[in-house]
Amino acid sequence: MNNPVTRITVLGGGLMGSGIAQIFAARGVEVTIYDIDAGAWTAPDTIRINLQRMQADEATIEEVVSRVVFCDRLAESVKGAQIVFECVPEQLALKQRLFCELDALCPPETILASNTSVISISEIARDVTHKQRVLGTHFWNPAFLIPLVEVIRTRWTDDVLFERTFDILAWAGKRPVRVNKDVPGFLVNRLQHALWREAIYLVEQGIADARTVDEGIRYGFGIRLPTLGPLENADMVGTDLTLAIHEYIFPHLNNATTPSPLLRQLVSEGKLGFKSGSGFQTWNDASINESRERLLNYLQRVTQQSEE
């Protein structure tokens, strides 16, 4: 497949923006990162560290980094871009304003994609004139390691541009999935936070402590999730058995539509997790670093295995 894209723009030079830039620069694409804060220009260093972790040689690292440039002028940054990935803070008004500006600056064939993790793409596109070229591309952090990208369409999204975006992401080495309706949380965050709600509830009710809940998932059904999704699992055990289990257990599961009182209490007490040294568990520098390194090493290992 020939390069379906030769130039992109990423709005926001943080971890997600740098990760997306790295993905495409590694495929030979010219990347411009737009950010209003030139002092926060850390993308080259971030990309170098990421590639060193992936054991890339120095020549490859410098070649990838050389394809990424910084610009603090929006109009200049999007010139020639075939797709623009927005990675600015999760503020609806900011995204709405930015997409209206992009719509005025970019030709109609330019794809405008938001990396928001939960905000409605339809709301972001509300005031955009050319709504058909707005869609969601939700990368997962760290973007350079996690394959999944949710591609979210609105009722206005053009079918051809939607499929083109899907193909571009697949060409870039990602594992895109189609989300055919723009709903809060899209696909995977809905699944993730349904699990988190029940996990927090189990701790709140004194059924198990936080460490036990995490271990139950990590060493139980979680260990098979990379190779066996929940619906394939339901087919494996039988939909009849799945129905019988659901009829018994669903009345006992947490179905709250507001955040957990325990979670609110932790936040009000300043127990913010890694940020403060305590949350559901207690943390210090050593345990924080161990957790992060364990995650990165695992992601790198399974990503390499999937490519072999």
Residues known to be catalytic: 117, 138, 150, 189
Closest CA to 32 of 72, 86, 82, 71: 71
Find, among 168, 132, 161, 167, the residue nearest to 6 by Cα: 168
CA dihedral 50, 54, 57, 59 (to 10 degrees): -40
**Residue whose tokens read 């209206």:** 100
Torsion of CA 7, 47, 148, 170, to 10 degrees: 30
* Residue closest to 303 by CA, chosen among 175, 171, 137, 139: 175
Cα 293 from Cα 307, distance rounded (Å): 21
Cβ(21)–Cβ(10) under 8 Å? yes
Closest to 8 in 3D by CA, of 60, 94, 77: 77
Amino acid letter, residue 116: T
**Closest to 145 (Cα-Cα) out of 111, 173, 184, 126:** 173
CA distance 123 to 79: 25
Q: What sign results for the dihedral spanned by CA atoms 214, 137, 71, 29?
A: positive
